[in-house]
Homo-oligomer: A and B are copies of this chain.
């Protein structure tokens, strides 16, 4: 159980690029990173494409004005000269800038925590992976939902055979906030449907990469063999970017899967769900009841596991923050992801590759896999929704 006691000798000096006043996700990064003030310390930032607004924002977060920079280039170069300069930077800008900023950060000797989808192409991700290795730096990816402890419970139960042999994975991440095209006029949404900024996809990258990573987290052994994706642009002006997509999957070993992702699922407030079906039982988790795990053994009463209970696996309990009956939310999940990233950075800094290998966190490979997932989906969809080998 976590209670805020430090896991690192001292907090990492941290900055953000993006995530300013108009950003919805920026606050999730700060809430997660600063949850306990023992893992990260926010000391600098280039929060906004509007430099003045960004500086003002930083000051209102309590930063020194002279460590609120106009852009990432200034941030990296000036902090490098700072006696107590930043060690790690979060990139919470639109997708199209992730690649160049990540490279620049690594070149500047920084560890990186980046928003998903990581980049536009898996080629870029492989390149950055090599660069990170060369620079001896960590690249983490904020699949924030994946920090809910019940997902570790799910992982452990599957690993220990409690559902039998895996047969099917059913995934979904949908909402309806883009049901009308009026949504596209808001700044926070506008760039998401512009291929130049968003990349090759809208909802596949924006939403389904979260759930896809969760499937990798709970099913580390399961590997995709082929998939088929059909995508739609129900608001025509969004084409070629999709606002709805359906995917069928075939895994090595015979299991199959489905994904549905959408921003036109009108009225839905139940966004993300994963169900893993085994030969004996199924496990189901959803992000609107993140503290519960449904465990359904065929021919037995259905079970509901609750967070913080002593019957859970140590892995799930280790990241519990509030205890049973006390509802944890998305902030707690983000805090777990940020803490895992801090531990990874610390291990990397200390050269402790064993510790690093034992950490479960959304690393550069997880980011690469998300990009690869989108790439394969788009390739299938753009070929007429045909089966493609997962490459």
Which residue numbers of A lie inside 8 Å of B, CB to CB?
2-6, 10-11, 21, 24, 26-28, 30-31, 34-38, 42, 57, 60-62, 163-164, 167-168, 170, 175-177, 179-180, 228, 230, 232, 234, 244, 246, 248, 250, 254, 256, 258, 260, 262, 264-269, 271, 277-282, 287-290, 295-306, 309-311, 321-332, 384-387
Are A180 and B260 within 8 A (Cβ)? no
Residues of B within 8 A of A297 (CB): 266-267
Majority DSSP secondary structure for residues of A touching B = loop
Residues of B within 8 A of A306 (CB): 269, 301-302
Q: Is the CB of B258 within 8 A of A260?
A: yes
Given A57-B5, A62-B37, A385–B228 Cβ distance below 8 Å? yes
Contact yes or no, A266 B277, CB < 8 A: yes
Select A385's contact among B163, B244, B331, B387, beta carbons within 8 Å: B387
The CA-CA distance from A267 to B295 in the complex, in Å, is 8
Q: How far is the CB of A177 from chain B (nearest CB, A)?
A: 7
Q: How far is the CA of A10 from the CA of B27 in the complex (A)?
A: 19
Q: Is the CB of B21 within 8 A of A5?
A: yes
Shortest Cβ distance from residue A18 to the other chain B in the assembled complex, whole angstroms? 13
In the complex, the chain B residue whose C-beta lies closest to that of A329 is B329
Given A30-B4, A177-B298, A267-B302, residue A38 in contact with residue B62 (CB < 8 A): yes
